[in-house]
Amino acid sequence: MLGLGMLTASILFFMLAGELPYAEYLPAVGFAAGALLALLTCEKYVLRIEYNHQDDTGVQWLTIAKSGKKTDKVLFDQHVAQLKRLLVS
């Protein structure tokens, strides 16, 4: 979120500095817009699996799917329950 905000602020600062009236406020507006865009487009729900490599790498978490929708969270929970049933039996 901060990275996207800083990116938009720096682009506005370098491209528009001094050319427009109130140009000194554009980086702040760009930062707020970029941070808000990052917040609105982020994925809240992630389906990950734990994978134990055979070499010396060890245990790692692999991302299988990402989403920001509530309906996908329910679907992710169903997949987790199904995988747990398969691993236990």
User: Domain residues of the chain, as ranges?
Assistant: 2-41, 45-88
Determine the Cα–Cα distance for residues 76 and 67; give it in Å rounded to an integer. 9
User: What does the pLDDT read at residue 57?
Assistant: 79
Average pLDDT of the segment spanning 29-55: 82
40 CB contacts (<8 Å, ≥6 apart)? Answer: none
Which two tokens mark 40? 């609105």
Q: Tell me the pTM.
A: 0.52
* pLDDT tens by residue, 51-71: 888 887 788 888 888 888 888
Determine the Cα–Cα distance for residues 69 and 45; give it in Å rounded to an integer. 8
Predicted confidence (pLDDT) at residue 10 exceeds the cutoff of 70: yes
Handedness of CA 65, 73, 40, 48 (dihedral sign): negative
